[in-house]
Structure 1
Amino acid sequence: MILVVGGAGYVGSHLVKELVEKEKVVVLDNLSTGFKQLVDSNAIFVQGDLGDRRVLDDIFNTYPIKAVMHFAANSLVGESVTDPYKYYQNNVAATLTLLKAMVDHNVKNFIFSSTAATYGVPNVDLIDEKQPNNPINPYGKTKLMVEQILEDFATAYDLHYIVLRYFNVAGAHESSTIGESHDPETHLIPIILQHLLGEREKISVFGTDYDTPDGTCIRDYIHATDLANAHILALDALLEEEKETEVYNLGNGNGFSVKEVIETCESVTGIKANIEYGDRRQGDPAKLVASSEKIKRELGWEPKFNLNQIIESAWKWHSSQNIS
């Protein structure tokens, strides 16, 4: 069985929906940002905190867990700056409790959901895994700390792990039964679609004078299902002992500007957006695009969804939520 921590959240629920097709799954989630209804009915659901040792011991004693997949992090960059304690407590301290429980119960395999925020603001067109880690906010720092803890646990306790550093995740499952829902919503594509559904008055674009073709920031977008499939490939590599420790970037390898994303949303929906242009936000790099060649080469991963398909799936999900 596989324990998925944070499996009721956006990315975790997409992973669970794919993983139950081949493995028995236990989901642990405290529902602070996740939703129980997003968890596939074929998974066993346990409500609780990843930092609660009693809950963890109960799970490991009850189920034959052979690997843990960790999605249960706080992930709002701005909030991490104003409330760093919350981020160090949940993202680092609670994860340390989980890892110690794994060691004590002799569970050796761990998949960690990390982030491109560990890189900070790299000065390269395509960010590969060799770029130095220099996070510029507490969120990125907490993720990097866990990566460093994993290195030490691998040496001391023979823990096998794969770290997956995400770029911008978007889109919804093709069934439209699960999709992206945050409160507050901070991600560009759902914000645009909420506006086009009449739930927001306008779209704010921060900065039009970046050194990019149209002056707005460029980002790399990856569909949540593509992301889930990368996790399953990583899990297989651990369970089949093809890998013991590794770090991979996950992105499409293509960058799209804020204006391009808005225009694609307008094209998919047939609705014109009301856009308000403003000044840059502090700390926003002009361009963040992943090189995912390493995971393609070593694990055979290939993203299947382009930007248009990502937005189409997200629009279908958001529209169904609006109707209901």
Structure 2
Amino acid sequence: MSWLVTGGAGYIGAHVVRAFEAQGIGAVVLDDLSSGKTDFVPKATPFVHGSILDGAAIERAIEEHGVTGVVHLAGFKYAGVSVERPLHTYRQNVTGTTTLLAAMESKGVDRIVFSSSAAVYGTPDVDLVTEATPKRPESPYGESKLIGEWLLADQAKASSLRHTSLRYFNVVGSGTPEVYDVSPHNLFPLVFDALLAGRTPRINGGDYPTPDGTCVRDYIHVADLAEAHVVAARRLDAGDGLEPVYNLGSGDGVSVGEIMRAVADVTGIEFAPEVGPRRGGDPARIVASGELAARDLDWRMRHTLTEMVESAWRARRAASAS
């Protein structure tokens, strides 16, 4: 028995692979390396250099490695860029998911954990997002993730597919120094890169109606996220009933200002971030409840903000030194 992890050479995917293997569950990585790194894949883990747009490659991977389930993380993940590249986003995220499901059906693989996104909610008008909060995505990326959830639900009605989707906001930290966030758009890499280059980090907006004037968001540790994927897979393997979607939320959130203070404390680099204008469409607060996931997936925030920053900074410095 093994699970195929699409996008398993990426920041999140590589942590999911390690979480599977720590539980004694075999993992196989499928990644086209458009944003992943082969160095992130454990040396003993089977690696297939291929795209989720290539159904034949997926079928070969399933056959050759005895795949019984899939964790689907591969896709184009940049919400802002997706507005400029909608066709590319839909091809990767919608056509790719369709191709993957077709290959799974062809080879009799009947369980999947889908890495969705809280981008499906857009700008909610509630303080605490639940799975029932209306879905109003505001980018092709968010729309493509919602369509991915629909595809799984419709395929399940027409076949024996068992599935669940995990929605989450901002993923940070590192569970191992060998794997770090390489995104050119995420907050932690942008802040660390600025500090390492001797520049002052910049944040967007300091006049929001929040306690310190900066946006409040869910920030979850990547190792906690990876563990939730493993629990979901194990429950699907056991034939347990799961909800179609779960929010992996903190329930309270932290502000960008709090993160900046934690970064200064952890790095020992004193700075006051430059405050630029607000970005269009950025709500003051988006925080999700994780109650359903806590009930069914043993979801909880196992790391403090300081631990998130410490682990991310350790991995980033290790990468700079290598």
- Does the alignment reach a TM-score above 0.5? yes
- Normalised to the residue count of structure 1, the TM-score between the two structures is 0.96
Whether the aligned pair in 2 keeps the contact of 1:208 and 1:215 (CA below 8 Å) is yes
Most deviating of 244-253 and 83-92: 244-253
User: Which residue of 1 is the match for residue 143 of structure 2?
Assistant: 141
2:115 match: secondary structure: strand
The residue aligned with 1:15 is 16
User: Following TM superposition, by how much is the alpha carbon of 1:60 offset from its aligned partner in structure 2, in angstroms?
Assistant: 2.1
Shift of 1:273: 2.4
Specify which of 232, 235, 241 is matched with residue 233 of structure 2.
235
Number of the residue aligned with 2:215: 217
1:26 aligns with 2:28: yes
Report the 3-state secondary structure (helix = DSSP H, G, I; strand = E; otherwise coil) of the residue aligned with 1:88. Answer: helix
**Does the 8 A contact of 2:59 with 2:104 survive in 1?**
no
- Give distance in 2, aligned partners of 1:269 and 1:233: 33
Residue identity in the other structure for 1:241: G
Per-residue deviation at 1:57? Answer: 1.9
Q: 1:244 Cα shift?
A: 5.2
Alignment-derived partner of residue 182 in structure 2: 181
Once the 2 structures are TM-superposed, how far is the Cα of residue 274 of structure 1 from its aligned partner? 5.0
1:254, distance to aligned residue in structure 2 (A) = 2.6
Paired position in structure 1 for 2:122: 120
Conservation of the 8 A alpha-carbon contact between 2:55 and 2:102: no
**Could you say what the CA RMSD is over the residues aligned between the two structures, in angstroms?**
1.2
Contact 1:167–1:220, Cα closer than 8 Å, also in 2: yes
Do the aligned residues in 2 keep the contact of 1:20 with 1:42 (CA within 8 Å)? no
- Structure 2-normalised TM-score? 0.96
Q: Distance in 1 between matches of 2:259 and 2:242?
A: 38
* 1:41 maps to which of 36, 43, 57: 43
| Aligned length, in residue pairs | 320
- Alignment correspondent of 2:310: 312
Amino acid in structure 2 at the alignment position of 1:113:
S
AA aligned opposite 2:320: N
Report what 1:153 is aligned to.
Answer: 155
Match of 2:275, SS? Answer: strand
Q: Which residue of 2 aligns with 1:321?
A: 319
**1:73–1:220 distance in 2 versus 1, CA, 3 Å:** same
For residue 202 of structure 1, report the CA deviation from its aligned partner: 2.5
**Contact kept in structure 1, 2:56 and 2:103, CA below 8 Å:** no
Deviation sequence 1:141-175 (CA, Å, 0-9, x none): 000001011110010012110100011100011x3
Q: Is the 8 Å Cα contact of residues 250 and 290 (structure 1) preserved in structure 2?
A: yes
The answer to which of 34-43 and 57-66 deviates more is 57-66
> Which residue of 2 is the match for residue 65 of structure 1?
67
Q: Which residue of 1 aligns with 2:170?
A: 168
Q: Is the 8 A contact 1:212 1:286 kept in 2?
A: yes
Instruction: In structure 1, list runs of 5 or more residues that go unmatched.
Output: none
Structure 2 counterpart SS, 1:132: coil
TM-fit CA distance, 1:245: 4.9
TM-superposed CA distance for 1:61, in Å, is 2.3
> Contact 1:195–1:273 at 8 Å: present in 2 too?
no
CA contact (8 A) 1:6 1:34 kept: yes
The code of the aligned residue for 1:40 comes to P
Distance 2:201 2:128 in 1: 28
Q: For residue 289 of structure 1, what is the aligned residue in structure 2?
A: 287
- The percent of aligned pairs where both chains have the same amino acid is 41
The letter for the 1-side match of 2:101 is L
